[in-house]
Structure 1
């Protein structure tokens, strides 16, 4: 099945510090408020815990409560649902983005750029594989927070349609978040969605939201209120991507090189 339009629910929310059960309950309440037809739900980075380095406290397996919760939501709502959480696997911890499709299929992406400023590199094992997957005829590239600062990793060599960033992006650097989301959309001639949390975490870091969606020309297509808990549905049109790619052909002029893992 291919859909010309993709309706994506952005969940901008506070997170309970290192409390997976409370976060699942809170997120499910918010998801259940959506009355519009949607195809996909996007949650923030580390949506079960906040951006914690206390991985051993909140880590789960790929057969754990949160993965089963995601599968239940995806099946019941007939949507794909995306977010990252702390996963323990092969004696390592990962900041892993998981997308669960309605049929239970799992797509996994481990954060490539661990945030050295916070010591994430000392706790979590970095991923090595870029992921692009198909959903309803849309090619989607999911990435995590700090990945946003590294355009080569997001470079659109796969002709993907939608770039998604899930994040815990703090207030002092929110101007960079706004600017880079817009830039990633423009340079890759794709839709770009960024989902950030709000509120304070357990270390008193403040997160101001600023979630948003940008089209292939960098126009913001929804003006989501910053600093507020909100679920906003954005509507993406696939014909718009083809129209401007065919008209402008900017991707045809991209430099040819490959990135080593």
Structure 2
């Protein structure tokens, strides 16, 4: 399955501007054979704590955009959104939404709010990991700060071919981003697609470093610089099975 990872300069708290920017890029990715298009964390508004202003219902405009794009181009499209779900927590969730040609296929609520940035004061913590099969590829999504917690990834490893990590990861800690993505691929013998934003938002600078890592920890595709870009890579579950058969590391966990 071909994946397109969109390294996007998010216009701060302006959904319509972001929809206008992203729509043509999703169309081009689909035309180039991408079956799954991955957008960054908070792809439509940036990593904002102004939740009273920017949070949406589960069927709000940012979810609708993903659903419409998926239906129009007959592909899968995903990214995270600030969702206020009246059926659960009082605070909104930083919610990863996966839309397919038939509508919303899966959602995942970020388990680890970023306390250093005050996210825990404005967003509720999710409680459930998920794995979903997309065109034969078993995908487990995580959001930004989740990347630092290896046990979350380990728990899903036996049934995962590819981890998606969508992020707004600031430039001062870019070395951590790159190192942790490689570590998660190596220790779980799975692909890792890390999709980060670029530009400036909320007073922070983001350097991108969007990348796709294979099950042995090698970079197979990456953004060429810190500007906007789309990174393409082919994800093959057979490569995951081959790595795990040759090196039986997962079986040695205690």
* TM-score over 0.5 for the pair: yes
Contact 2:157–2:190, Cα closer than 8 Å, also in 1? no
SS of the aligned residue for 1:92 comes to: coil
2:64 to 55, 68, 75: 68
2:45 to 30, 44, 49: 49
Deviation for aligned residue 1:141: 0.3
Show the counterpart of 2:3: 8
User: Equivalences for 1:126-137 in 2 at 5 Å?
Assistant: 126-137=125-136
Show the counterpart of 2:78: 82
Greater shift in the superposed pair: 56-65 or 40-49: 56-65
In structure 1, distance between residues paired with 2:164 and 2:172: 22
In structure 2, distance between residues paired with 1:148 and 1:165: 7
- Kindly indicate whether residue 21 of structure 2 is the aligned counterpart of residue 26 of structure 1: yes
Q: Deviations over 1:35-67 (max 9, x none)?
A: 311110000000111100001111111121222
- Kindly indicate whether residue 51 of structure 2 is the aligned counterpart of residue 58 of structure 1: no
TM-score, normalised relative to structure 2: 0.95
Show the counterpart of 2:204: 205
Deviation for aligned residue 1:221: 0.2
Structure 1 spans left out of the alignment, 5+ residues: 1-5, 256-261
TM-score, normalised relative to structure 1: 0.92
SS of the aligned residue for 1:125 comes to: coil
Contact 1:31–1:231, Cα closer than 8 Å, also in 2? no
User: Equivalences for 1:1-261 in 2 at 5 Å?
Assistant: 6-34=1-29, 35-90=31-86, 91-155=90-154, 156-201=156-201, 203-255=202-254
SS of the aligned residue for 2:67 comes to: helix
TM-align CA RMSD = 1.1
Show the counterpart of 1:3: none
Extract structure 1 runs of 4+ deviating beyond 4 A.
Answer: none
Contact 2:27–2:73, Cα closer than 8 Å, also in 1? no
